[in-house]
Every structure is written in C-alpha cells, then in structure tokens.
Amino acid sequence: MTPRRFKVVIEWDSEGQEYVVRVPALPGCATHGRTKAEALERAREAIEGYIEALAAIGESVRDDDQEVSVEEVEVYV
C-alpha cells in the first residue's frame, strides 16, 4: 500500500483546552487531542476511517490535495 499525505490545520481551542485538527481535502474530517502529538495521531485515525468509509460506499478520495495557507486580515473595531 502506498502512503498518502494530507495537509492538516491544527488550531488551539482555549475554551476546550485542546488542539483541533481539520483535513481540508476531506470535508467534515476533523478531530482533537490534548497535545499536538495526540491530535495528529487521532487525525491519522480519522483520515483512515474516512477513506475506509468512502471505499465502503464505492467512492474514492480525490487525488488533488487542497492548498492551505495562513493569512492575516487587519480589522478596525
């Protein structure tokens, strides 16, 4: 089996006191963890489960990955 790589977005949730991880290439694929390492491990598990669920319904993952960038927007309030 050939490994695949997915970009993930990791954000700290101060309210929940945990890291939240989203996978832009897989809509709705998200998870969380108390540490970055735990969040990334759970992301691997979530991605595997997502791909297995797609396979179960006869669909495949798109080959193109999503571009991810971090930008700043200045606002005046």
More confident residue, 63 or 21: 21
21 beta partners: 10, 31
Q: What is the structure's pLDDT at 64? A: 67
The CA distance from 66 to 75, in Å, is: 27
User: Does residue 8 or residue 66 have the better pLDDT?
Assistant: 8
Residue that wins the pLDDT comparison between 67 and 17? 17
Whether residue 34 contacts residue 43, with contact meaning beta carbons closer than 8 Å, is answered with no
Looking at residue 70, what is its pLDDT? 84
| Alpha-carbon gap, residue 75 to 73, rounded angstroms | 6
Burial category of 18 from C-beta neighbours within 10 Å (exposed 0-12, middle 13-18, buried 19 and up): middle
